[in-house]
Structure 1
Amino acid sequence: MAETFRAVTLDADKCKGCINCMRKCPVQAIRVRNGKASIDYDKCISCGNCIRSCPNRAISARYDSYDILNGYSYRVALLPSCMYGQFPHIYDAKLILNSLKNIGFDHVFEVARASDILSLLKRELFIMKDYKEAPVISNVCPACVELICSRYHSLADNLLDFLPPLGVAAKLAREEARGKSGLPDGDIGVFYLSPCPAKVQQIKSGYYSNIKELSGVLSIGETCKKLNLVDVADVRTDDDIKASNMGIAWSTCGGEASNIPNTKQLAVDGIESVVGVLKELEDGKLKDIDFVEMRACQAGCVGGVLNITNTFVAKSKIHTLRKTVLLNKNNVTDKVDKPQEFYKNNWKWETKDVFKLDGNVLKAMEKMSKIETILKALPGLDCGVCGSPTCRTFAEDIVNGTAGDSKCVGRINESFRAGKNARL
């Protein structure tokens, strides 16, 4: 049986058991036992928070090596617009786009072109009110989608049923490459330059298995390092930017929502803030909102952990780029000239019961009762020293038999002062 791909990996030899990653994980998927962290991949949403927080670089992201390009005669790069923000001192976007041809690509397709098309489609969607549930939730960020499907099941039907820009771009890029190269699909490689492990996981886990247009996924960070070695004088700026301001805006939080006029919108970035909004949506507190844009990374895709430039510097660069170099790119050059089925996903959002205590309702209730009893005996400090993120998760781990030899330090200290032996 093939190994399940994991975009976020942990090197136990580098791990010092410092619990930084455990405390930063928004879905409490990390535990520290016997001085080493471990990830529950059934709960992990590949947001990359643990990668950012690990001081020992024990946690990293996986993606394809550039060697994968050698297996194809014609190579296409799917360029996300957040990559323009990775070069603070280069204001010619054409230079960045065309430089990719100097490191092994034959053609570059801007993902923002797909964002342009989707912006037009969504405008029509809201004019016709052709959606199942309100508010409609963006499906662009795979970490947020995974979070909804694993923890906020009631909101799964609110997810937009168009393909995200990456999916549309992959289909259009391969179609364009066939026309330019005259080669069969097997000789054409289409590669996405990813700013985050969530999109790597999305692609590698078969999320786009129904499309088959993507051949691999590379890191923006590694790509930028290669581009920094390219002599600008050797770059031929033959290709112009085809995406409009509207599509490029999607790389920063709020850009997607701002392109849907006459709607009540909400744009939220940062996974902790996303969790807060999802809770309010689930409780029915935001019923007057038409569209919700969610990005797990701060400031949007420019804040992805695989990027190399400071998030806010990159965000500023994108805004400057849109106001100056791309001032004349206000019109969408790509047309919505295909049936809507081309742009829509053909799968149903699948929810996962990874946070259930037990599949049997009676057993789950029994476990919950035990958890509440244990919780009353714990100090409620949520210090994490036991190796679980909170006192509640520690109680759950005890009941589920996964706590191992972990002990509650708070209880031990209390018992020591009282001259008793602690059991927890």
Structure 2
Amino acid sequence: MTYFHSVTLDKDRCRGCTNCIKRCPTEAIRVREGKARIINERCIDCGECIRVCPYHAKLAVTDSLEIMKNFRYKIALPAPSLYGQFKDLSINQILSALLDIGFDEVFEVAYAAEIVSKFTREALQKGNLKKPVISSACPAVVRLIQIRFPSLIDHLLNICSPMDTAAIIAKKQAVKKTGLKEEEIGVFFISPCAAKVTSIRNPVGLEKSKIDGAFSMKEIYGKILEKAKTTVVRDLSKATMIGVGWANSGGEAFGTFTENSIYVDGIHNVIDVLEEIELGKLSDLDFFEGLACIGGCIGGPLTVENPFVAKNRIRKLAESLPKREQPPVDEDLVSFEEVKWIKKIEKSEVMKLDKDISKALEMMKEIDRTHKTLPGLDCGSCGSPSCRALAEDIVKGCATENDCIFILKDKIKALAEELNDLAGKKPPVIK
């Protein structure tokens, strides 16, 4: 099965500037012949390349609003981070505007986040999870662990994300309310990031997601602003402090009520902590929340507002809401067992050197030898993110040592000196 990626490359816009290869946390990008290319097996859809590309050549593919026409009943799942995008709109104004856009119902992912927090607390209290328990809410971090830290897979919290939990509940409620078949009901997530869009097509811990499509927060933003001017405000919000707080980094950790927990945002910062966990240096920690985007989901590449401004808005919103420790959960609609993963998370297969182990080992030795001949500056000018990566590319036949500008410069210099020597010599006299 082909793995779907939301993050894609527009080659016509790419100018081969190498900004993206320096920021990619999994070395999933190369620049060859003046154009970037994404190695699908290594991409975690974190969106770092989208942020740093000055030519907007990296894009996040989301669904068109047109797909709503395929369903008789349409439900919007707004991420909590959506609330931080608007300066003067209340949560109920935002939710009411979504109904005016064309949705028949809204179900807050923030409310589902409270339910996930409740189930997480119960799981932590049972004490049979491998410590530190690592949050599985950020799909980019989950895929990062699958690719770079497979030894930590057993530490992942085996509970569905608030997004998937919201979809499970929303569909069941809609079937009960409307009498329609499940396939006639469309559930659509309003996403702040590419990784969540990818995880809908390639769900974590589930055979198939209940979500039928994902819309970019950027696309929905303008439509909400327009409709909010005339919308009749309904009392639709059910989420409280804990659920809305999930939009910011630390929101999930706060919802566990566990003092011995830490939260980290920014994919490179997350990598630093995961390395510490892998080395056993944080074995006394109970819970770790890692989020790929700076600030949390409010910093996603598909958001509109400055993440620091949005973070402050979410904080104020959360503080104005009650702190509900036990959200009402209808056991007929969702249970702890229903939101637990049913599929084991496996290590992701990145590009292998060779299927033959003996040949792969020989290639690793050759990579080591080649790496020693390179300058070790990791400048990225060659189109590979590091000298080690270039050595691997050379051995795999994807690059040559002449791609290194320093080696090429030395060769040109030596050739120029040789030509200069030849030019100074008199030709032999022909007798």
Task: Report the TM range for the smaller structure's normalisation.
Answer: over 0.9
- Residue 353 in structure 1 maps to residue 339 in structure 2: no
The residue number in structure 1 matching 2:269 is 273
Q: Tell me, what secondary structure is at the counterpart of 2:403? A: coil
The residue number in structure 1 matching 2:38 is 39
Aligned to 1:159, which of 156, 163, 178?
156
- 1:278-326 deviations in Å (ceiling 9; x for gaps): 11111111111111101000011000000011111110110011123x2
Query: What displacement does 1:157 show?
Result: 0.7
- 1:368-424 deviations in Å (ceiling 9; x for gaps): 211121122111111111111111100000011111685211122334455589xxx
The residue number in structure 2 matching 1:59 is 58
1:9-408 matches, cutoff 5 A = 9-90=8-89, 92-131=90-129, 133-207=130-204, 210-232=207-229, 234-324=230-320, 326=321, 328=322, 330=324, 332-335=326-329, 337=331, 338-354=334-350, 356-403=352-399, 407-408=403-404
Q: Cα gap change, 1:4/1:282 in structure 2, threshold over 3 Å: closer, same or farther?
A: closer
Contact 1:244 1:331 in 2 (8 A): no
Q: Tell me, what secondary structure is at the counterpart of 1:75? A: strand
Query: What displacement does 1:155 show?
Result: 0.3
Give the whole-Å Cα distance in 2 for the aligned partners of 1:208 and 1:276: 25
Give the whole-Å Cα distance in 2 for the aligned partners of 1:302 and 1:33: 34
Q: Tell me, what secondary structure is at the counterpart of 1:347? A: coil
Give the whole-Å Cα distance in 2 for the aligned partners of 1:231 and 1:266: 38
Q: Cα gap change, 1:69/1:208 in structure 2, threshold over 3 Å: closer, same or farther?
A: farther
Query: What displacement does 1:263 show?
Result: 4.2
Task: Tell me the TM-score normalized by structure 1.
Answer: 0.93
Q: Cα gap change, 1:32/1:244 in structure 2, threshold over 3 Å: closer, same or farther?
A: same
Runs (5+) with no aligned partner, structure 2: 418-431
The residue number in structure 1 matching 2:426 is none
How many residues are treated as equivalent by the alignment? Answer: 416
Contact 1:244 1:332 in 2 (8 A): no
Contact 1:140 1:164 in 2 (8 A): yes
Q: Tell me, what secondary structure is at the counterpart of 1:218? A: strand
- 1:245-294 deviations in Å (ceiling 9; x for gaps): 11111111111111222441110110000111111111111111111101
Q: Tell me, what secondary structure is at the counterpart of 1:45? A: coil
Q: Cα gap change, 1:273/1:420 in structure 2, threshold over 3 Å: closer, same or farther?
A: farther
Q: Cα gap change, 1:129/1:170 in structure 2, threshold over 3 Å: closer, same or farther?
A: same
Contact 2:77 2:108 in 1 (8 A): yes
Query: What displacement does 1:359 show?
Result: 3.8
Q: Tell me, what secondary structure is at the counterpart of 2:74? A: strand
- Residue 410 in structure 1 maps to residue 401 in structure 2: no
Q: Tell me, what secondary structure is at the counterpart of 1:352? A: coil
Percent identity of paired positions between Structure 1 and Structure 2: 42
Runs (5+) with no aligned partner, structure 1: none
Contact 1:101 1:107 in 2 (8 A): yes
Matched to 1:194, the amino acid is: S
Query: What displacement does 1:206 show?
Result: 4.8
Give the whole-Å Cα distance in 2 for the aligned partners of 1:218 and 1:47: 17
Give the whole-Å Cα distance in 2 for the aligned partners of 1:198 and 1:135: 23
Give the whole-Å Cα distance in 2 for the aligned partners of 1:329 and 1:264: 20
Task: Tell me the TM-score normalized by structure 2.
Answer: 0.92
Contact 1:117 1:336 in 2 (8 A): no
- 1:160-185 deviations in Å (ceiling 9; x for gaps): 11111111111001112223323221
Query: What displacement does 1:236 show?
Result: 1.9
- 1:340-369 deviations in Å (ceiling 9; x for gaps): 211211000011231543343322321121
Give the whole-Å Cα distance in 2 for the aligned partners of 1:336 and 1:187: 23
Matched to 2:262, the amino acid is: L
Matched to 1:139, the amino acid is: S
Give the whole-Å Cα distance in 2 for the aligned partners of 1:342 and 1:209: 10
Contact 2:266 2:292 in 1 (8 A): yes
Q: For structure 1, which segment, 30-39 or 412-421, has the greater mean C-alpha deviation from structure 2 after superposition?
A: 412-421
Give the whole-Å Cα distance in 2 for the aligned partners of 1:120 and 1:231: 33
Contact 1:150 1:355 in 2 (8 A): no
Matched to 2:139, the amino acid is: P
